[in-house]
Amino acid sequence: MSSMTCSRCGFVGEEEYFTKSNRTKGGKRALCKECKSKAGKVYRETHKEQLATYFHNAWVNDVNNRKQKNRNCVDRRRIGMTAEELENAVCECCGMTNAEHKEKYGCRIEVHHGQNTGRHNLKKGEKPIHTDLHFLCKSCHARIGNLTHRVYAKKGGENIG
């Protein structure tokens, strides 16, 4: 490793003390990490309103579909499927389709965890348990939540949860 000199404070040190950059030949910036950190902090303080407006507009306008990507990641982690895969879901109690649910309640059909293992917040490397899942409309899910988490299908009365 070669040593570098910070263009702002004059610090001389190994490359590991300098930030990466794809724009330079050596792949490192001329500022040390400490000076870069201070410069970033000053910039954020002096441009607070502009940055707030930029990030607000980026989220509201959702140019890169961030909301959907975030939702898909959360769904994949929590229930093992994405919103697109939930489109054909039908309430297992009353038979309401996902489209009907969106029209009536303004949100998609809900997923009921029959056996809640409490493993939603997983440690690194653990896999979630996506078994014993049931699609339910909002009213059926609320009713089931109030009834000791037992789901009985309307047809036949068989235990599904």
Domain ranges (residues) in the chain: 3-46, 87-161
pTM: 0.44
Burial of 101 (0-12, 13-18, 19+ CB in 10 A): buried
Q: What is the pLDDT of residue 129?
A: 59
The Cα-based distances of 148 to 90, 116, 143, 151 in angstroms read: 22, 12, 10, 9
3-46 has CATH 3.40.50 classification: no
Q: What is the pLDDT of residue 98?
A: 85
Print pLDDT tens along the chain (161 aa): 688 999 999 999 998 899 888 888 888 888 999 999 999 999 999 999 999 999 888 878 877 777 778 877 877 777 777 767 777 888 888 889 888 888 998 888 888 776 655 555 555 556 655 667 788 888 888 887 666 444 444 444 444 44
Q: What is the pLDDT of residue 117?
A: 56
Q: What is the pLDDT of residue 49?
A: 95
